[in-house]
Structure formats: structure tokens, C-alpha cells
Chains A and B, each alone.
Chain A
């Protein structure tokens, strides 16, 4: 069965510091991988996705993530945190084919302090 593990339910960084949010997955077949962001009282907004091809993918708001098959990881990074990045971040996977339900990790709440 597929699962997604996000290490660290809460991450706190200073403004301007590196952001690193960790995601590991388990899947018997190569998955499609996604990061979504949820701002307070809003829905889930797609940050970026990995399907095939280049393993380093760039998303919106300066975020990027690298798919590492050997480590079954898809960690999200941003070189310099901004106050507006404070939100909850969800890693999710989809099996290729089928009707493609998303399986989410538990989420990581990112706090950015001055």
C-alpha cells in the first residue's frame, strides 16, 4: 500500500533562511508526486509536481523539489524564506493509471519569524 510520511509536523525558520520540508513515500510502482500549500482558511493550492523526466522540479513562489528514487524522497526547498510562506504544506502521491486518488502526508506547518 502507498503511504506518505512528512517528517516534522512543525518547522520554524527565520526570514531569509533556507526552507526544507521533508517527504518520503512508499510505493510499489513509480508514483506521481505533488506538493500542495494551504494558507489559513483557504483550499489546497498546487505548488509543484513530479511526473517524469527531470528530477528537480520548480514550482511557484520560488519553491523546488527533487525526486530521489533511491531514497524514495521528494523534499521541498526554498533558498530564502519569506513571511508570506507561512502556511501548511502537504506532500501527496498518485499511482499512475486508475482514477488517481491523492494520498496525502500529514502536513507540515511552516512558521517564518522575523
Chain B
């Protein structure tokens, strides 16, 4: 069964550095998402992406964050200048279309640790 893949599985970065988290969504999916889960807290929506543009973003997704689909397969989340509070598990998800009830398929996540 096709999967969403995320790399790396664990990223350790110094505060203030830029980080790029990578995702390869399922190939025929059209809608892409990033979520994050701070340790011990709930999974939170960050951003959705469709047709090469952001379709919705949360208040967490400030100017330090950006997303890109640089080619036909990758979907990236960039944090420009990381802060300690960016430490979290980041999940990528994709969805085939927006027909009612289509589930989102998740990757295994990238654990981001900011030192």
C-alpha cells in the first residue's frame, strides 16, 4: 500500500538555524498538510496546500514557516530561524481529493529537537 514518507526521522538543530523537513506524499494525492505534536500535547494543524499554494494556515504558521512543493513528488516545511518551542514531532499528511470523508494519510513524522 502506498505510504507517505518523511525524512529525516530525527533532526537536531541549534536554535536560530534553518531547518527543512521533507515529505513525499502518496503519488496521486492532491492535498497536502503539515501538523505538529509538541510532547504530551495534542496534534495541531499547521498548514494545508493545494494547487501549489497555501489553502489554509493556523496562527502557529507565522512568517518563520514556509512550505513548498519544489517538484512533482516532494513537499517541504521550512522553519527559517528555529526557536526552542519549535521542538515537536512534525507530521506530513496527504489526501487524494476533497470529496467528503476522504481520509488523510500520515507519515511517521520527523522529531525536531532544538538545542
Contacts and interface: CB of A to CB of B under 8 A. Distances in A.
A43 interface: yes
A11 interface: no
A91 B98 CA distance: 20
B18 interface: no
B106 A44 contact: yes
Contact of A52 (B4, B41, B101, B108): B101
Given A44-B91, A49-B103, A51-B100, A99 B55 contact: yes
Interface residues of A, number: 28
B95 A100 contact: yes
A105 B44 CA distance: 9
Nearest to A34: B103
Nearest to A48: B103
Interface in A33-74: 34, 36, 41-46, 49-52
A96 to B, nearest CB: 5
Contacts of A111: none
A25 interface: no
A43 B104 CA distance: 12
A42 B58 CA distance: 24
Contacts of A52: 100-101
B73 to A, nearest CB: 18
Nearest 6 Cβ contacts at the A-B interface: A51-B101, A43-B108, A44-B106, A99-B55, A104-B43, A101-B45
28 contacts: A32-B100, A41-B108, A43-B91, A43-B106, A43-B107, A44-B93, A44-B106, A46-B105, A50-B101, A51-B101, A94-B101, A96-B100, A99-B50, A99-B55, A100-B48, A100-B95, A100-B104, A101-B33, A101-B45, A101-B56, A101-B58, A102-B33, A102-B93, A104-B43, A104-B44, A105-B42, A107-B42, A107-B43
Interface of B: 4, 6, 31, 33, 35, 41-45, 48, 50, 55-56, 58, 91, 93, 95, 98, 100-109
